[in-house]
């Protein structure tokens, strides 16, 4: 079988069973370090991607991606605006939208939440997350309320029980003076979206909420816009440049952007810390090769007398170091995918279970996996350059002078 002589000698050095035990230990440690680092990096990155994807799905399904607010009756007509928006390619759904910060009060507790209206004939954002009760009752009867499982537990209420809704932004005059608008609502359903929204978001019948907010004309409701891709806000605003100039516009980035930024930052920090394991292992390749060059100086000199050029000598040690990097990267990627894909079974087997029996979400990113693999191989190659240069600079006459 024909192959480059540098490749043949480099692989013989890399796979030789005999040699300096300390150098062999460092080589093994470098392969193990790269494997362990990549396995940890792939596992943690996949779980963090899963958490981020779950958060996006759960959170951004409950709130509008873009909210166009009422300015004045003379320049705002939600019905005509909705028709205009539906013609845009990036827009997935448009519907009337009402929301207000309110206080939910029971005999035992009160809590401040964002109350969002749900209108009959339009998509209910938590219809698929109903824990108990029925979402149909929310829009079929007046003054109905849907709260999260978290809020139901905090307020100690269940389906069919009443909650007083106090709206501080809307007031009325009474013999006792100016008081906030308030009304008893009945709990129609309880939802559980497993997201941050559960702590601060409740839903009410849109018509009943409009009465409390004194929005008598449906044409003056705010407009909720759901995009095909929530992260294409820039492209959406470029397609409708006059939207922000003519109306008061709010979007999910201003409301929840800090939460997603914190998750992304946490993922980057974790990747950086775990990536240091790989970098340390790469330095072990450099150390092992440097000691190998010093130990093999006599053999290098003999190879040069047999016709090896300095370039060929350098390639021998580059191949040896790159061999360790490729083996470590391959093992790390294989076990990383294996562990990440079976992380919940592994936790269950070891007796480590999450709170409430929840499972870890895992999402693989092909681009991230490819980048981690290529960076590991590239760093392994870079680590071989200095030892290869030192080997290529060996002078046979000086080494063999006393042989």
50, 357 Cβ separation under 8 angstroms: no
Q: Could you tell me if 268 and 231 lie in one domain?
A: no
List phi, psi (to 5°) of 379: -65, -35
Of the listed ranges 12-16, 149-153, 262-266, 312-316, the least confidently predicted one is 12-16
Domain boundary residue, one of 253, 271, 304: 253
Assign residue 81 a region (left: φ > 0; alpha: ψ between -120 and 50; beta: otherwise). alpha
**Rounded distance between C-alpha atoms, residue 44 and residue 372, angstroms:** 13
Q: Could you tell me if 365 and 324 lie in one domain?
A: yes
Q: Could you tell me if 225 and 96 lie in one domain?
A: yes
352, 62 Cβ separation under 8 angstroms: no
Residue 73 pLDDT greater than 60, yes or no = no
Q: Could you tell me if 32 and 72 lie in one domain?
A: no
Q: Is 89 helix (H, G, I), strand (E, B) or coil?
A: coil
The pLDDT confidence band at residue 1, using thresholds 50, 70 and 90, is: very low
Please give the tally of structural domains in the chain.
2
**Rounded distance between C-alpha atoms, residue 252 and residue 206, angstroms:** 21
Residue 217 pLDDT greater than 80, yes or no = no
pLDDT value for 323:
84
Domain boundary residue, one of 232, 253, 274: 253
Most confident of 24-28, 111-115, 118-122, 282-286: 111-115
The pLDDT confidence band at residue 92, using thresholds 50, 70 and 90, is: confident
Q: Could you tell me if 244 and 269 lie in one domain?
A: no
Q: Could you tell me if 134 and 265 lie in one domain?
A: no
**Rounded distance between C-alpha atoms, residue 111 and residue 263, angstroms:** 27
Burial of 241 (0-12, 13-18, 19+ CB in 10 A): exposed
Residue 303 pLDDT greater than 50, yes or no = yes
Number of H helices, E strands in the chain: 14, 11
The pLDDT confidence band at residue 209, using thresholds 50, 70 and 90, is: confident
Q: What are the tens digits of pLDDT across the range 220-236?
A: 678 888 888 777 777 88
pLDDT value for 198:
79
Residue 28 pLDDT greater than 60, yes or no = yes
Burial of 284 (0-12, 13-18, 19+ CB in 10 A): buried
Which H or E run contains 204? Answer: strand 201-205
Q: Could you tell me if 93 and 206 lie in one domain?
A: yes
More confident residue, 305 or 177: 305
Q: What are the tens digits of pLDDT across the range 364-388?
A: 888 888 988 888 888 888 888 888 8
The mean per-residue pLDDT over the stretch 281-290 comes to: 78
Q: Could you tell me if 37 and 89 lie in one domain?
A: no
Residue 118 pLDDT greater than 80, yes or no = yes
The pLDDT confidence band at residue 20, using thresholds 50, 70 and 90, is: low
The mean per-residue pLDDT over the stretch 162-189 comes to: 79
* CA-wise closest residue to 234 among 59, 41, 65, 5: 65
* CA-wise closest residue to 91 among 239, 209, 208, 198: 239
Domain assignment of residue 176, given as a range: 64-253
**Rounded distance between C-alpha atoms, residue 147 and residue 126, angstroms:** 10
More confident residue, 45 or 355: 45
Q: Could you tell me if 42 and 72 lie in one domain?
A: no
280 contacts: CB under 8 Å, gap ≥ 6:
33, 37
Q: Could you tell me if 247 and 267 lie in one domain?
A: no
Residue 19 pLDDT greater than 60, yes or no = no
Q: Could you tell me if 134 and 232 lie in one domain?
A: yes
The pLDDT confidence band at residue 334, using thresholds 50, 70 and 90, is: very high
The pLDDT confidence band at residue 398, using thresholds 50, 70 and 90, is: low
Q: What is the mean pLDDT of the chain?
A: 78
Q: Could you tell me if 229 and 129 lie in one domain?
A: yes
Most confident of 34-48, 72-86, 346-360: 34-48
The mean per-residue pLDDT over the stretch 157-170 comes to: 84
Q: What are the tens digits of pLDDT across the range 256-274?
A: 767 677 777 877 887 787 7
Domain boundary residue, one of 202, 229, 253: 253
């Amino acid at each position: 079988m024909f192959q480059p002589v540098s490749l043949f000698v480099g692989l013989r050095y890399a796979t030789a069973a005999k040699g300096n035990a300390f150098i062999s230990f460092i080589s093994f440690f470098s392969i193990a370090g790269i494997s362990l680092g990549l396995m940890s990096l792939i596992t943690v990155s996949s779980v963090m991607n899963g958490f981020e994807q779950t958060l996006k799905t759960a959170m951004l399904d409950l709130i509008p991606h873009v909210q166009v607010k009422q300015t004045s009756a003379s320049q705002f007509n939600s019905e005509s605006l909705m028709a205009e928006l539906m013609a845009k390619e990036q827009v997935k759904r448009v519907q009337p939208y009402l929301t207000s910060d309110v206080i939910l009060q029971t005999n035992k507790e009160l809590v401040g939440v964002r109350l969002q209206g749900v209108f009959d004939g339009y998509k209910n954002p938590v219809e698929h997350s109903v824990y108990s009760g029925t979402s149909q009752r929310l829009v079929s009867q007046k003054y109905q309320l849907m709260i999260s499982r978290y809020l139901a537990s905090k307020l100690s209420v269940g389906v069919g029980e009443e909650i007083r809704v106090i709206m501080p932004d809307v007031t009325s005059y009474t013999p006792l003076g100016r008081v906030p608008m308030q009304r008893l609502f009945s709990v129609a359903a309880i939802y559980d979206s497993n997201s941050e929204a559960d702590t601060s978001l409740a839903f009410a019948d849109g018509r009943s909420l409009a009465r409390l907010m004194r929005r008598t004309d449906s044409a003056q409701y705010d407009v909720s816009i759901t995009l095909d891709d929530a992260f294409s806000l820039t492209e959406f605003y470029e397609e409708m440049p006059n939207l922000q100039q003519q109306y008061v516009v709010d979007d999910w980035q201003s409301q929840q952007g800090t939460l997603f930024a914190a998750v992304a930052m946490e993922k980057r920090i974790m990747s950086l810390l775990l990536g240091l394991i790989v970098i340390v292992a790469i330095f072990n390749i450099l150390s092992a090769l440097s000691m190998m060059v010093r130990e093999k100086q006599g053999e290098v000199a003999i190879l040069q007398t047999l016709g090896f050029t300095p370039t060929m000598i350098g390639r021998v040690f580059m191949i040896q170091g790159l061999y360790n990097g490729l083996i470590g990267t391959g093992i790390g990627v294989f076990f990383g995918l294996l562990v990440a894909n079976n992380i919940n079974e592994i936790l269950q087997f070891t007796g480590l279970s999450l709170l409430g029996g929840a499972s870890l979400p895992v999402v693989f990113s092909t681009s991230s996996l490819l980048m981690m693999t290529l960076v590991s191989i590239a760093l392994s190659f870079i680590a071989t350059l200095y030892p290869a240069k030192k080997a290529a600079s060996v002078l046979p006459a000086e080494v063999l002078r006393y042989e």
